[in-house]
Structure 1
Amino acid sequence: MPAPSADWLPAHPLVRTIRAAACDLNGVARGKRMPIPSARKVLTDGTRFPMSVLNLDIWGEDIEDSPLVFETGDRDGLLLPTERGFTPMPWLEAPTALLPLWMYHEDGRPYDGDPRHALAQVVARYAARGLRPVVAVELEFFLIDDSGRNLQVPISPRSRKRRKAAEILSIRALDAFDTFFTDLYDGCEAMEIPADTAISEAGLGQFEINLNHVDDALKAADDAWLFKMLVKGLARRHGFAASFMAKPYEDYAGSGMHAHFSVLDEAGRNIFDDGGPRGTDTLRHAIAGCLGAMHDSTLIFAPHLNSYDRLVPEAHAPSGLCWAYENRTAAIRVPSGAPAARRIEHRVSGGDVNPYLALAAILGAALNGIEDGIDPPEPITGNAYALELPRIPTDWQGAIDAFASSQVMPRIFPRQLIDNLLLTKRQEIRDMAELTDSERVDIYLDTV
């Protein structure tokens, strides 16, 4: 894997400080601020911080019964730059760059508790079969005025009015925040995030931006992780909040992260394409794998207490285990279009997910189905919410229990990551029970 270039810093002489950070299990960036000379040293020698830092709870606290803390002396891991290299942080006033990291043991082994390594292991499984996933994500988020006691839509910088209504595919809603979206697209270009179209969505102040497909699943996850940081950071510069929490408003639809993927063989052919609308048997095997793992991996797709407010019937989020052609009520959708672009859309994840874990769960499950050659049930037609279907867990505790007892998850994720995530979520579910609804919103609004 190519190392990031040391030429970036001399080519950007205005950059004054560096943030060197890795992604923890909740998708939060954890790391250090450092001057330029220290950043140069990280490129060659890496840096260190405790392994337990990638296994903190949503408040940033140690996991009380984690073996990574006192039992092992809270030992350090070795953090090395990812192949992404330096990227600007355009939401900060001072010119600053982020250097993404991932964690290793001192002897060079990847640390199994790192979510980026979990996705890399899934990608390696594909590569061993001569396959390469092509991935794109759609990210929904809310723009929110959180300055008062109740969340509300921000005042438009253009009209100085506050429109308290959902406006699906409204150009007016986009234009109301034109300066923010212009800065956001400029930021995506500077950070090499392949942002495509933006639309207004069904919630109050809710929008969606698609990221273009890439044939590198790690880059797709990097793009999503960095995009979430960019959106939240730029919104604060514009005087309001942006949030990817699954359901900030009780009476409106929540935010998802829909993942689209196809798979290429060594000749660059899409193995889901049969030249027609049906798709290949391999497509159906991948769908079967996704459906077979969906129940047990709900904790990945809905990692927080608030996540389950989104996963209710008739709220534009899937709740039944099913698939369909060109049907957005299904958990798995096969979009129409040119056969060469035949792909799967996985619609379960909330906007509050860790992108590395979500893509690892989706792609790993699909590969299970391909390897096993299993067939899915017949595709549904009509409204999935009106059908009697097997359901994903409807509450946080049920999802934790399903993840803990799963026979499928160890086939996708390292045992250490499974154990670390369970310890984290069990601590969070205990401590969330002591908070008021407003306190829960406070922590989720900016963090996820």
Structure 2
Amino acid sequence: MSNATIKNYLRKNPQIRTIRVAACDLNGQPRGKRVPTRFADKVVEDGTRFPLSVLNLDIWGEDIDDSPLVFESGDRDGVLHPTDRGFIPMPWLEAPTALLPIWMFHENGTPYEGDPRHALRAVIERYKARGLTPCVAMELEFFLIDDSGRKLEIPISPRSGKRRKAAETLSIRALDQFDIFFTDLYDACEAMDIPADTAISEAGLGQFEINLMHGDDALRAADDAWLFKMLVRGLARRHGFAASFMAKPYEDYPGSGMHTHFSVLDEDGNNVFDDGGPKGTDTLRHAVAGCLNAMQDSALVFAPHLNSYDRLVPDAHAPTGLCWAYENRTAAIRIPSGSPAARRIEHRVAGGDVNPYLSLAAILGAALNGIEDGKEPPAPINGNAYAQEMEHMPTDWQTAIDRFEASPEMPRIFSKELIRNFVLTKKQELFYMAELSPTEQVEIYLDTV
């Protein structure tokens, strides 16, 4: 999108008085500035500036104590330019406002490798170098929560005035109880050009899932997921309750995941996973092998917070074992049935609390490693993965940090700078989370992740 096209959005929408410019930090938090529209042209043309360290803050928004990005380097600036998304409305705010997504570069114009959006861009460029294009879709689960009292509860239904304290899997009634919210949400998604498709009620208390349509632009898919999370949280507050993508707000109910479906297209637009039958090609198996091979070392990306590990427990609808299967939701990697032309991989490990850019980079990067190496996966499993002997995901935050830091696989996917920054961030959060009560931990995660 040209700068002229980006600026023309504000000419067509004179009711907008202020804009936000925001980039995504390592925790998926939007970091940026509020700017009057009369100065928007300068931001579009010249970019804006803030310290490199701003994309490497902890979950509280604090500097990382021992980061070389802060005092050691003088806390120098990066330059942030608009992505090709352009301006989009922010329907969760009372005043008409537009958001301009931006990403970070060095002064000389080279990408800042600590920016998670650039991490995904680098993986996509590896695919392009091989004449391949990932085709991606995401399913995002979240909870609607009344957090006004001392304990978390499902909100009172605007329709019935009642609070139904039960899980209602695929319940039309549960969707209809919050019809006003979901109608506003779909209208907002259309305004923001987020391809929201099917909504269902899930197995958790007040838990729902919305699918985002597949497309052959993985960067845009991650943009959509990031913006969708921002929208859902903000719009829920306008309706008088909270929405949260935290992995496990309720001990007795399943947590929220972000399942990623992907296939890979060749230069002629053919799906390289399609062999005309139900099993898929050698390339599909190589991609599965790459995902399994990197899964334990990339657990920190898929489960980035202390609360994330409450979700990754047996018999709780989240995968714990390193395995794959055809049409089996207990496996970490599922190959869905259906038309061979749509043969794809579903990666089921990530929680709803992830950074979409990092999660998608880890998944697609690992799959490409497997394709490049020609790896073969173990045999697909049958039956209940929880009841079978196999290797498992890390079960605690410290182990995940250690594996990510020491991994031989992660430098093939992420830059050394991003690995260092992410590890430093998570070590600091691990230290300070230990000082908080469980209630305080929930409070910080509820509105952020």
Shorter-chain TM-score: which interval?
over 0.9
Shift of residue 19, structure 1, vs aligned partner = 0.4
The aligned residue for residue 256 of structure 2 is 255
The aligned residue for residue 401 of structure 1 is 402
The aligned residue for residue 55 of structure 1 is 56
Question: Alpha-carbon deviations, 1:374-420, whole Å to 9, x = none?
Answer: 10000000000000010110000010010011000000000000000
Amino acid at match of 2:364: L
The aligned residue for residue 104 of structure 2 is 103
Within-5 A mapping of 1:425-440: 425-440=426-441
The aligned residue for residue 165 of structure 2 is 164
Within-5 A mapping of 1:252-401: 252-401=253-402
Using structure 1 for the length normalisation, give the TM-score.
0.99
Question: Alpha-carbon deviations, 1:28-79, whole Å to 9, x = none?
Answer: 0000000012221111100000000000000000000000000011100000
The aligned residue for residue 198 of structure 2 is 197
- Say which SS state the counterpart of residue 425 (structure 1) adopts: helix
The aligned residue for residue 27 of structure 1 is 28
Amino acid at match of 1:85: G
Question: Alpha-carbon deviations, 1:167-199, whole Å to 9, x = none?
Answer: 000000000000000000000000000000000
Amino acid at match of 1:213: H
Looking at structure 2, the residues matched to 179 and 125 of structure 1 have their Cα atoms a distance apart, in angstroms, of 43
Looking at structure 2, the residues matched to 101 and 337 of structure 1 have their Cα atoms a distance apart, in angstroms, of 38
- Say which SS state the counterpart of residue 286 (structure 1) adopts: helix
- Say which SS state the counterpart of residue 6 (structure 1) adopts: helix
The aligned residue for residue 230 of structure 1 is 231
Within-5 A mapping of 1:5-24: 5-24=6-25
The aligned residue for residue 116 of structure 2 is 115
Amino acid at match of 2:436: L
- Say which SS state the counterpart of residue 264 (structure 2) adopts: strand
The aligned residue for residue 144 of structure 1 is 145
Shift of residue 234, structure 1, vs aligned partner = 0.4
Q: Percent identity?
A: 77
Amino acid at match of 1:332: I
Amino acid at match of 1:164: K
- Say which SS state the counterpart of residue 329 (structure 1) adopts: coil
Amino acid at match of 2:271: N
Looking at structure 1, the residues matched to 368 and 323 of structure 2 have their Cα atoms a distance apart, in angstroms, of 18
Looking at structure 2, the residues matched to 5 and 370 of structure 1 have their Cα atoms a distance apart, in angstroms, of 38
Shift of residue 236, structure 1, vs aligned partner = 0.1
Looking at structure 1, the residues matched to 174 and 16 of structure 2 have their Cα atoms a distance apart, in angstroms, of 35
Using structure 2 for the length normalisation, give the TM-score.
0.99
How many positions carry a matched residue from both structures?
448
Whether 1:129 and 2:130 are equivalent positions in the alignment is yes
Amino acid at match of 2:35: M
Amino acid at match of 2:267: E
Amino acid at match of 2:24: C
Looking at structure 2, the residues matched to 41 and 376 of structure 1 have their Cα atoms a distance apart, in angstroms, of 52
Amino acid at match of 1:335: P
- Say which SS state the counterpart of residue 333 (structure 1) adopts: strand
Whether 1:208 and 2:209 are equivalent positions in the alignment is yes
Looking at structure 2, the residues matched to 246 and 5 of structure 1 have their Cα atoms a distance apart, in angstroms, of 36
- Say which SS state the counterpart of residue 134 (structure 2) adopts: strand
Looking at structure 2, the residues matched to 385 and 45 of structure 1 have their Cα atoms a distance apart, in angstroms, of 54
- The alignment's C-alpha RMSD in Å is 0.7
Shift of residue 13, structure 1, vs aligned partner = 1.3
Amino acid at match of 2:337: S
Question: Alpha-carbon deviations, 1:334-376, whole Å to 9, x = none?
Answer: 0000000000000000000000000000000000000111100
Shift of residue 2, structure 1, vs aligned partner = 5.5
- Runs of 4+ displaced beyond 2 Å: 1-5
Question: Alpha-carbon deviations, 1:256-289, whole Å to 9, x = none?
Answer: 0000000000000000000000100000000000
